[in-house]
Chains A and B, each alone.
Chain A
Amino acid sequence: MATKQSALARALDNRHLLGALFLLPAAALLLVFLTYPLGLGTWLGFTDTKIGRPGEWIGLENFVFLWGDDVTRLALFNTIFYTTVASVIKFGLGLWLALLLNKHLPFKAFFRAIVLLPFIVPTALSAIAFWWIYDSQFSIISWALVRLGVIHTYIDFLGEPWHARFSTIAANIWRGVPFVAITLLAGLQTISPSYYEAASLDGASDWQQFRYVTLPLLTPIIAVVMTFSVLFTFTDFQLIYVLTRGGPLNATHLMATLSFQRAIPGGALGEGAAIATAMVPFLIAAIMVSYFGLQRRAWQQGGADA
């Protein structure tokens, strides 16, 4: 078999040539539908392109206009508020759930499997369930609270600005906690139990074991998981689109939903692209914070983990 290799077969055994060949399908798809759109999107942000009309370069005009636009400013505030509150709570609850699932439990694998359900089901569809749960007339939460005598009138979950903000955040947390919990659980399972035995022999309390054993060893994976969580939350679209479409009074518009609304139904592709481009610095900042935070930790621990 090896003795009669054709020229083609020999060429295919050249690592560099074959490497390039193997990379071709993935690279071609990604260059055309990822790298090029990234560049095009940035360029569109500096033009006045409308749907059906090619735009002209207008420099920073879009960004100047958006900076003076109350709705965009509100959307920026909403996005930061939404991301901060949801991420902090997702981290807290996710870590707690991970610690609980890491305890010795009957049916542990079963619990772990159903905990992840909110994450795997299409967000748009679970958002519809939340829409019904938040209904102003038939909300089951309002019904239960009225029966318990906590409130007397039904809550208008999605009709008032602050109610709507917290309702959408709650739905986002519901969807995000399983991701944080399951990935942190994977991190917890790599920590050897002998550390805890050693710590408890030295008289460390539960809290001290958590603070001085679990947390430091978990930090690298926490950094990665929370980076992903922050990125997904910051660029969230589906949940808001289904629950409120940005209303009431734009109180729940995020950058992504606003950019969609301006670009697709509104037809102002250039302006929408400018809003999307404005999200990029925030994303890069989030990645940088986690990357350098992670590196410093690794260095403090002798660079052995991660």
Chain B
Amino acid sequence: MTTDNAAPDVVDSEGMNYLVSLPRRVVTVYVPIGAFLIVLLFPFYWMVITTLKPDHELLSRDGNPFWVMNPTLLHIRKLLFETSYPDWLWNTILISVVATFMSLVASVLAAYSIERLRFRGSRYVGMSIFLAYLVPPSILFIPLAAIINQLGLFDTRLALILTYPTFLIPFCTWLLMGYFKSIPFELEECALIDGASRLQILVKIILPLAVPGLISAGIFAFTLSWNEFIYALTFISSSEVKTVPVAVVTELVEGDVYHWGSLMAGALLGSLPVAVLYSFFVEYYVSGLTGAVKE
């Protein structure tokens, strides 16, 4: 990954750039990039500003709306102490972590099995994993709701923990298959000659070499579960088991009066954890995203 990215950079900087004059670069590169960044980041800026604005500033058309005169933490305080927001956060964390961990374990085994053990029919299993990746939740939620009901899991966290792997496992398996493919067969053969079992090979040789892949898959799976909406909306009805995205949309919107300040605070606090996690693992996240698409 890093070498991949570094190579074009080096060549690029010494490449044909000297042929392009500075004013031309400003107009064709910097201005459009600036415009893209402003548009892409504005909603986040707006979330932050709205969170910090007292109500009378929010609902006035005078003054400069792009800035906040008297910043306040009232909305955040209201959110944390007068609503069940901490519970929702905890639910989201719990469900995302457990679903991600389960999917990772299942995917590591499945990917190793498909890519390395090459049992009879492994190619077809690999293909069907990819096809499973293409099945959108919007066509599954109705029958899944019926199944969840039959299993008596309606309105429990377990319902989400069990259904999230349906989109996490195909993604993680597909990504890890790519990583396992890049590990030389010779390493495994050496270990086999030395008398290692397949399980030992997987744990002591393949997994340590696939750590970047595991991090990519884990980060990606975690954000996917954190962002999931339609299953959480359909399978959960009590406030205390809701996840953040659903709870903010269904619980914080009361009647006709919108409390924009606390709504935005809810949206902001719900976005921050994934944004922070993402900022620490950008490279892994990007390689997960592009790795899954490139195949």
Contact pick for A112, options B13, B264, B286, CB 8 Å: B286
Contact pick for B275, options A36, A38, A121, A182, CB 8 Å: A121
CB <8 Å contact, A276 and B113: no
Segment touching B, from A7-15, A62-70, A159-167: A7-15
User: B228-253 CB contact bits vs A (8 Å, 1 = yes)?
Assistant: 01100110000000001110110000
CB <8 Å contact, A12 and B246: no
Instruction: Output the least CB separation between B79 and chain A (Å).
Output: 13
Interface size (A, Cβ < 8 Å)? 103
Q: Which residue of A lies closest to B287 (CB)?
A: A186
Are A179 and B144 also in contact (CB < 8 A) when A19-B119, A104-B9, A120-B223 are? no
Q: Within 8 Å of chain B (Cβ to Cβ): is A138?
A: yes
Q: Within 8 Å of chain B (Cβ to Cβ): is A178?
A: yes
Contact pick for A44, options B40, B132, B142, CB 8 Å: B142
User: A191-207 CB contact bits vs B (8 Å, 1 = yes)?
Assistant: 00100110010000000
User: Chain B residues with Cβ under 8 A from A193's Cβ?
Assistant: 8, 11-12, 15
Q: When chains A and B are docked, how far (Å) is the Cα of A132 from the Cα of B74?
A: 19
Q: When chains A and B are docked, how far (Å) is the Cα of A38 from the Cα of B128?
A: 14
**Count of A-B residue pairs with CB < 8 Å:** 296
User: Chain A residues with Cβ under 8 A from B84's Cβ?
Assistant: none
CB <8 Å contact, A22 and B113: yes
Chain B interface helix/strand/loop/mixed? helix
Q: Which residues of B176-198 are within 8 A (CB) of A?
A: 194-195, 197-198
User: Chain B residues with Cβ under 8 A from A280's Cβ?
Assistant: 139
Instruction: Output the least CB separation between B288 and chain A (Å).
Output: 11
User: B129-148 CB contact bits vs A (8 Å, 1 = yes)?
Assistant: 10010111111111111110
Q: Within 8 Å of chain B (Cβ to Cβ): is A228?
A: yes
CB <8 Å contact, A283 and B143: no
Q: When chains A and B are docked, how far (Å) is the Cα of A126 from the Cα of B135?
A: 24
Q: When chains A and B are docked, how far (Å) is the Cα of A49 from the Cα of B147?
A: 13
CB <8 Å contact, B264 and A122: no
CB <8 Å contact, B147 and A40: yes
Q: Which residues of B250-295 are within 8 A (CB) of A?
A: 260, 263-264, 266-268, 270-271, 274-275, 278-279, 282, 285-286, 289-290, 293-294
Q: Which residue of A lies closest to B66 (CB)?
A: A140
Residues of A within 8 A of B (CB): 1-2, 9, 12-13, 15-16, 18-20, 22-27, 29-30, 32-34, 36-38, 40-41, 44, 49, 93, 96-97, 100-101, 103-105, 108-109, 111-118, 120-126, 128-130, 132-133, 135, 138, 140, 143, 174, 177-179, 182-183, 186-187, 189-190, 193, 196-197, 200, 221, 224-225, 228, 231-232, 235-238, 241-242, 255-256, 259-260, 263-264, 269, 272-273, 276-277, 279-280, 283, 287
Which 8 residue pairs across A and B have the least CB separation, nearest first? A2-B195, A19-B119, A22-B113, A186-B290, A26-B110, A235-B136, A256-B138, A41-B143
Contacts A24-B109, A116-B282, A231-B134 known; list 7 others, CB within 8 Å.
A25-B105, A34-B166, A120-B278, A122-B227, A122-B271, A260-B141, A260-B230
